Each structure stands twice: as structure tokens, then as C-alpha cells.
Structure 1
Amino acid sequence: MKTLPLLERFDWSEFERVVILSPHLDDAALSCGGLLHALRDRVSTLVVSVSCATPRVLTSKGNSKISHRRGYVSSQTRRREDIAAMHSVDTDFVHLGFADGIYRRSPLTGKLIYLSARERWISPRIEDLAHSEELYLVLRRLCLNLGKILLLSPLGIGHHVDHQICAQVAVRLAAAGAILLFYEDFPYVADTRIGRGDQDSPLQALARLQRSPAGHYAVPVDVEEKLAVLRHYPSQIPALFGDDVGMRARILGHQHNNVPSEFYWRAKALETTPSKEK
């Protein structure tokens, strides 16, 4: 499929705004930082970050206390980082009060749904259906009453459960009237060691959503501008890139026509072959 320039795909003045769904407090910048820069003088943008809550649990005495899991940065720190990043690209943003997948609990048992860090990289569990439904209802109210919008969603490359849930909800929002594009989850698409660790791809992610490609688009990235945005997330750089040198190399290595780029997909429902009567 031919890759086309996304910035020439739309008359951006027709949109009330472009809404980017960000499963966590860095995903929009990681995957769409170049696009956010490019749209600054074209159309209003809104980044909706989903997993921003400070996780709390009830003690045996009925009190509430903050829950911590080893290796994870506090949500307060991450919100501060994201606020600085969003201000740097002049975009509106909303921090929703949903818990990260590692902190979500079954509404029936109160137990953690995903017990270990490794379990972040699986299909969403049935105990998470209530979260998916609540997220859909919140995003439907937030996104579909804004006039004509372009909705950008992660594809779910890398199998992160929070990314997959966002993608599934975005498909439902498209059925309710949103114009939908998927973005490739960066850096998972550029480094298969991050995430579940297998050879996941955009086409595989589309297939999991029962979708097939209908268009492929690229946005050229100014490397220095994108690095400037991502440096607002110092708590995340070591786990994702190692250091600033590794981050630069990963951005430079993801190219279209020898130009560092971000990639986006338009999709359609898979065609089903009618069964033959015996």
C-alpha cells in the first residue's frame, strides 16, 4: 500500500479539532509529537490521556491509602511531566481519572486484574469489561459533542492492554460518528523488544481489531522538535530508550523516504465471506 502525506489528506479547517487518545501520560507525545507540532497553525488539538489516576486501596480499617507497585513512577510526577510537554506544543489536554492497567481491580472481587508486570502484554481480560464500557461512555460524551472531529487512536502494537482497550473503544466511537485514524504505537513499532517482545506489526494490530488497511499516511518529523517534547518525560526515558542518545537513534531510525516520520492508518471492517450452503 502506498504511503501518502497525511498533512495533505484533509482540509484541516473543516475540523472543530483533532482529538488524540493517549492511553498513558506520554503516548500522544511519543507517537504523535511530530503531528502535534505540524498542526499548531492548522487546527485546534486536544490530547485525552486516560490512565492518570493516583491509585488508592482501602485498608482493613476502611481508610484509603495510595497504592504503589515496584518500578512505577507516581502518577503525580507523570502528570507534571505531561502538563509541561503539552504546554510546549500549545495543545489542549485532559487528564482522565482512570487507573493504569497495573492498578485496576476486579469490580467483583476487588483483586488486581493483571497480577504481574508481564500480564500488561496480553488481551484485555473479561474482568476489565466494566473499565472499557465506562471509558467508552466518557469518551463518547467528551469527543462526539465537539462538532466535526478527527479522532486518533493507538493501534495497540506491542499488545499493551491499555493501548488495546483504547483501540477497541475508538472503533466503537467511529461507529457512533467519529472520523478515525490509528497511529502506530511508538516506540513499540520501532523496537520489538519493548512490549510483549514478539514481532508485532500494524497489520497484525489491525487484524486484532477486525479491521483491514484502507490508507497509510506519514508525517515528517523534525527530530530536534520531537526530542524537545519527549525530554519533558524524564521518568520514562530510561525504560523506553535508555538515554537521550538512544531516544534520538530510535526517532532517526523510523523513516519514510529517508526522512524520520510518524505513521498513521485508515481502516475498514474486515470483509466476511458468506458461508456456502450445503
Structure 2
Amino acid sequence: MTAASLLELIDFDAYERVVILSPHLDDAALSCGGLLHALQGVPTLVVTLCSGNPPPLLSADGTRRLPPRRGHVSPRIRRAEDIAAMHSIDAAFVHLSFPDAIYRRSLRTDKLIYRSARERWVAPHADDNAYVEELHQLLRRICLDLGPILLVSPLGIGDHVDHQITARVALRLAAAGASLLFYEDFPYVANPDSGRGGGDNPAAALARLQLEPGQRFFVPVDVEGKMRLLRHYVSQVPVLFGSDDGMREAIERAQYDGRPCEMFWRATAPGAARAPRSPARPVRKDS
């Protein structure tokens, strides 16, 4: 599907604010770093959902301790990285206190809902419903009380459960009045075998949400600028890319029309009438 220029076609002045939903403490920068740079001067809010500390556990002696999960960095460290990144581009941000999927526990059994790395790449578990509902209610207050907003949500490429939940809640917010735009999840979209594997792609992610493609948009990426932003996530770059060169290669691999770009989607329910187009930029007439 051909794409149109997001920055040329959407009139951002028609919105009270652009709200970018970030499942974790790097997703907005990873997938929307180019958009964030372009929107400097436009009222923009990045809301990170899973940025809270893991719920403490009681040891046998009654003391409280944080549950270790091998290979995962303390949320405190990751919050500091994200704060530095957001400050570097003058972006407003909110860190919600929900824990990452790897730390969430069932209200029925008190056991971890997603007990292994493999279980994070699945549909949301029924034991996560309470979290989903609480998240929905909180985001309604944050987003829908602002006036007209453009809500920017992950599409769920890679099939990470926290990305899927974010997309589903975003759809509910759109039904309540938000104008919704999906972003292609990076770096999963640049490496289709990452995440759950199996060559995931935008069409498959839309199908999981029971949506059909509407309109596709692109935002050109300044590779050096995006790399400067992502370098703030010191704990994540080696995990995601291996090295600085690996990060550059991944950013340059996500292309449209021969240049590095970030990609965004409008979508519709199957058989539904096309959603109204977002406000277009006014055409300036020569004097």
C-alpha cells in the first residue's frame, strides 16, 4: 500500500494535544522518535504504561523484597533513561505505575501471569483483565478530558502482550471519541523474526485487532537524530541492537520510498464505513 506524508496531510493544530502511548520505557522513542522530533512545538504527551516497580514479595521472614527476573533492568534505572530522552527533545511525559507483564500477578492465585519469556508473546491472559480495565479507566481520564486529541498507539507488531493490550485499550478510547493513529512497532517491524517470530507484519497485527487497513502514512527519519535519542536508553541498546552500528542498521532498514521512515496507520472495522479523515492542513493560497 502506498503511503502519504503524515506531516503534510494532518493539521496538528486541530488537536488540543497529541498523545503517544508507549507500552514500555522506550517504545515511543523507538517507534516515534522521528515524529517526536518533528512535533517539537506541538503540544505532545508521551504516556508510558508499564513503568512501575514490580510488586514486592514477602520473604519467609516477613521482609519485603523485589522479585528478580533474570536479564531485566530495574524500572528505576529505565525511568531515569526515559526522563533523559524526553528532556532531550522537550517532550512532556507521564510514567504510569503499572508493572511490566513479566511482573504482573493473578488476583486469583497470586502467581505470575506470564511466567516465561515465551509467554509474553501471546494474547492477553484472562487473569490480566483487571489490569486492562484499570488501565482503560485511567487513560480515559488522562486522554479524553483534554479536548480533541490525536491518540497514537502501537499496532502490536511482534505480538508482545503489553503492546497488544495498549492497542486494544486505544481502540476503546477511539470509540469514546479520540482520533486514533497506529504506529508500526520498532524494532519488530525492521526484523520480522523478532518478538514472537514467524514474520509478523502490519497486516497480521491489524487482523489480530479485527481491523482492515485504512490509510498509511510516513514520517522521514533523521538517522543521526534518532540515534542520539535512543542512546539515552543505555540499558536497552545492547539488548535490542547489540551495538551502535546495529542500531544504525536497524533504523536504516525500516524504509519507505528509499529512505528511513517511521510508518503509521489509520484502520477501520471490517465492513464499516470509512472513518472520517483526520483534519487536513489548510492549503495556503499565494497572495
Same fold (TM over 0.5): yes
Kindly provide the amino acid, as one letter, of the partner of residue 49 in structure 1.
T
CA distance in structure 1 between the aligned counterparts of 2:144 and 2:267, rounded to whole angstroms = 19
Deviation at 1:66, TM superposition (A): 1.4
Deviation at 1:132, TM superposition (A): 0.7
CA distance in structure 2 between the aligned counterparts of 1:266 and 1:61, rounded to whole angstroms = 53
CA distance in structure 2 between the aligned counterparts of 1:58 and 1:161, rounded to whole angstroms = 23
Aligned to 2:252: 252
Aligned to 2:78: 78
Local SS of the residue matching 1:271: coil
Q: Unmatched 5+ residue regions in structure 2?
A: 273-287
CA distance in structure 1 between the aligned counterparts of 2:39 and 2:132, rounded to whole angstroms = 30
CA distance in structure 2 between the aligned counterparts of 1:88 and 1:7, rounded to whole angstroms = 21
Local SS of the residue matching 2:32: helix
Aligned to 1:213: 213
Aligned to 2:47: 48
Deviation at 1:61, TM superposition (A): 5.0
Deviation at 1:198, TM superposition (A): 1.1
1:1-278 correspondence runs (5 A) = 1-41=1-41, 43-59=42-58, 60-271=60-271
Kindly provide the amino acid, as one letter, of the partner of residue 53 in structure 1.
G
Local SS of the residue matching 1:56: coil
Deviation at 1:13, TM superposition (A): 1.1
Q: Unmatched 5+ residue regions in structure 1?
A: 273-278
Identity rate, percent: 61
Contact 1:194 1:240 in 2 (8 A): no
Local SS of the residue matching 1:25: coil
CA distance in structure 1 between the aligned counterparts of 2:44 and 2:39, rounded to whole angstroms = 8
Kindly provide the amino acid, as one letter, of the partner of residue 4 in structure 2.
L
Cα distance change of structure 1 residues 127 and 13 upon mapping to structure 2, 3 Å threshold? same
CA distance in structure 2 between the aligned counterparts of 1:3 and 1:142, rounded to whole angstroms = 31
Judge which range, 57-66 or 243-252, deviates more.
57-66
Deviation at 1:173, TM superposition (A): 0.4
Deviation at 1:7, TM superposition (A): 0.5
Aligned to 2:284: none
Contact 1:211 1:269 in 2 (8 A): yes
Kindly provide the amino acid, as one letter, of the partner of residue 252 in structure 2.
L
Local SS of the residue matching 2:50: coil
Contact 2:192 2:201 in 1 (8 A): no
TM-score computed with the length of structure 2 as normaliser? 0.92
CA distance in structure 1 between the aligned counterparts of 2:62 and 2:37, rounded to whole angstroms = 47
Aligned to 2:282: none
Kindly provide the amino acid, as one letter, of the partner of residue 102 in structure 1.
I
Q: What's the C-alpha RMSD, in Å, of the aligned pairs?
A: 1.1
TM-score computed with the length of structure 1 as normaliser? 0.95
CA distance in structure 2 between the aligned counterparts of 1:271 and 1:203, rounded to whole angstroms = 16
Contact 1:5 1:218 in 2 (8 A): yes
Contact 2:57 2:67 in 1 (8 A): no
Deviation at 1:158, TM superposition (A): 0.5
